[in-house]
Amino acid sequence: MKKVWSVFSRKGCVTVSWILLRLSFLFVAATIVLEAGAIVGYAQAVGVKSELRVWIPMRDGIKLSARVFLPKAEGKYPAVLQRTPYNKEKWTTGHDMWTDQGYVYVVQDVRGRFESEGVWYPFFQEKQDGYDTLAWIHRQPWSNGKVGMFGPSYNAIVQFAAIQGGGAPLLTSLIPTFVHADAWVRGWYSGGAFYLFNSVWWACTTAGRGDQRSGLAQLDLDKFYRQLPLITLNEKAGCGGAPFFSDIVTHYTHDDYWKAYGIHDDYALFKVPSLLIGGWYDYYAADTFAQYNGLVNHAPGSEIARSHKVLMGPWGHHHGMSSQAKPGDKDYGRSEIDFGPESSFEYQRFYLDWFDRTLKGSKPSPTQSAPIRIFVMGTNKWRDEYEWPLARTKYVKYYLHSAGNANTLNGDGVLSQEVPNQEPPDSYTYDPADPVPTRGGNLSVGPSPAIKDLLWAGPSDQRPVELRKDVLSYTSSPLEQDTEVTGPVQLVLAAASSAPDTDFVGRLVDVYPDGRAINITEGVIRARFREKRYWEKPNLISPGVIYEYRIDLQATSNVFKKGHRLRVDITSSSFPLWDRNLNTGHLPWLDTEIRKAEQHIHHSRHHPSHLLLPTIR
C-alpha cells in the first residue's frame, strides 16, 4: 500500500515541537484509509489548507496517481478535475485559485503516464478510467456530489471519454478546450492528409512514462521530417516505444480504428452543460462548432441544449499567441497581428464563472450569457451570437481568373464575383522533394523554443511562400467597404493532375495596403479522399482528368477592412504540417518513391473554381 501525504501549515514562526505535535495529531486522527490501494489523507484543520497525494484504484486493480487540494475550512465541496498525460505536477500551479473559491482541485496522471501505474495507450482506456475516477471522487468525505472537468487538447478528450464511459450522472459540467470531434476527419488526418509534424512530436511527448522529445529537439527537424518511409519516423526520433504512432500511420483511412475515438455518434449522452473553447488559429476551429451543433441538436432536452456554449478567440492551440520574431526581420518579420487589448483572455475568470454557475448555482455573470461568443478579427471586438452558421449569412462566390499565369503573388491571378468565361488553366509543378514550407496557420502545437524556427501557429506574412512558382495567388481589387467573413469557408477547385494521387492546399489571405499577406484560415484535401464516400475505401484519380475538389478551409471571423484585398493561395503542400503526397498512389506510410506532378487549376464557365465566403451584412 502506497502512502504519500503532505500538510501545509500556517504561515509564521512556530516551534519545532508544535509542528511535530500538529503533524502527529493530523496523522493519527485524520488519515483515513477509504479503499484498498488508496490513501486519502483528509488532513484538515480550521485555517489549514491540505494537499493530498493519493492513489486512485481502477476497476482492474491499476492505481492512478493524483494530487488533491482542499479548501481551508472543513466541509463538503464541489470538485474540479483535470486528467492529463502531460505530468500532473505541471498542472498544480494555481491550485489556490480553486481552493480559495471553495472548490476541491483534483489533478491526475492518466494510466501509464508519469506516476500512474499501467500501460499507456492514448484514448483506449480513458472511458473506464474516467468513470472510475469520478466515482472515487463521489465517495470522498469532502465531496458534495458536484464535479466539473476542464482542460485543453488531450485533457479535453478525456472529458468526452468520461461521458462516453457512462459518467454523465457523475458529472455536473465540462470545459473542453482546443479539441477535435473526429480524430481522423480533423485530428491526426485532415482531408486525408497525415498531420505529420504533430503526430511525431506528440508520439515522442507521450512515448512511455515520460516526455521523450529531448532527442527530437536536437535534430535538424526539417531534414528529419523528410525521411521515408513515414512508418520509421518515431524510431528514428528515438521514440520507438510509441506503438500508437505506428497504428495511426497504418490506419490511414477512416476505418473502425478511428470511429471508436469520435464523439459524433454520442452527442445525446452529454446531459451536462459544456463550455467549448477554441481558437481561430487552432487546428480544430471548425470542430469546435461541429461539437456545439452536435450537442445542441442531439440534446435530451431544451434546457440542456440551451446550457451549451462556445467561446472562440483569435488564438492557436492555447489562450493567446506568443511572438515569434520582431517586425523588420529579413523574411518580412514573422510578427503576429496585434488583435488589441480585448484579445487577452483571463481564462481563470471564465473558468471560475462557469463552474460557479454550474456547480454552485450562482446567477449568470457578464462573462458570457449568449450561447456563442466570438472574437471578430479586424475589428478586434467580442460579439455575441445565437447560432452557427449565423442566420444572416450570405454566401458569396469569388471566382478564380487569370490568363494562365497566376503563379506567385506577382502573377495575373484575379479573384472576383464575376463568373469566368473561357480562360486557360493555371499550372505548376509540385515536387515533393521541394515542398512549400508551413508558415504560421492553424496548428495544434503550443509555443516551443525547439520548433519556433520551423513551425508556429497564427497569422504570419505569406509573401515568402507566395513568391514560389508552385504557389498560385488570386487577388481581388481593393475593397470599397469593410467586408466581414464569419462562418465556414470552402474552396471549390476544378483540378487535374498528372499523378494518380496528389494534394491540394488552399489558404484564405488578407492583403493589407502595405502588401502584407496575412493568412486567415486554410485546408487541404488528398485526391484519393476527395469525397466522403472514399474515406473508408480511397479511390485514386485518373491522370489528366478534371475532378471537383471541395476543400474545407475550416471557419473564421475576420473583417477585411476597406482598402484591403482578398486573396486565395493554392498549392500542393504545407510541410511539415502535413506529410508530403509523393504522387505515386502507393500506401503513404510505406512509400519511398518521389514523383513530380503537373497540376492544372481550371477556371472557366464549365469549371468555375471559386472561393465560397460566408459574408455578414
**Residue 589 to residues 194, 240, 245, 248, 258: CA-CA distances in angstroms?**
10, 16, 11, 10, 17
What residue type is 490 in one-letter code? Q
CA 9 – CA 4 distance, rounded (Å): 17
Compute the CA torsion angle 408, 413, 416, 422 (nearest 10 deg). -150
Q: Which residues contact 298 (CB under 8 A, 6 or more apart)?
A: 267, 268, 270
- Burial grade of 416 (CB within 10 A; 0-12, 13-18, 19 or more): middle
**Strand ranges for 203-349 from DSSP E:** 275-279, 309-313
Is 317 part of the annotated catalytic residue set? Answer: yes
* Residue 505 contacts residue 441 (beta carbons within 8 Å): no
Which member of 180, 317, 602, 610 is catalytic? Answer: 317
3-state DSSP helix/strand/coil % of the chain, to nearest 5 = 25, 30, 45
Which residue in 37, 93, 45, 42 sits closest to 65, CA to CA? 37
Which 3 state secondary structure label does DSSP give 321? coil
Which member of 129, 182, 282, 470 is catalytic? Answer: 282
- Burial grade of 507 (CB within 10 A; 0-12, 13-18, 19 or more): buried
* Cα end-to-end distance, the chain, whole Å: 65
Is 298 part of the annotated catalytic residue set? Answer: no
At 108, list the grid cell.
491526475
* Residue 465 contacts residue 472 (beta carbons within 8 Å): no
CA 486 – CA 493 distance, rounded (Å): 21
**Residue 297 to residues 265, 269, 614: CA-CA distances in angstroms?**
12, 12, 22
**Residue 198 to residues 110, 210, 414, 455: CA-CA distances in angstroms?**
20, 17, 34, 10
Which member of 50, 153, 460, 497 is catalytic? Answer: 153
Is 265 part of the annotated catalytic residue set? Answer: no
- Which of the 8 DSSP states describes residue 570? E
Catalytic residues: 153, 282, 317
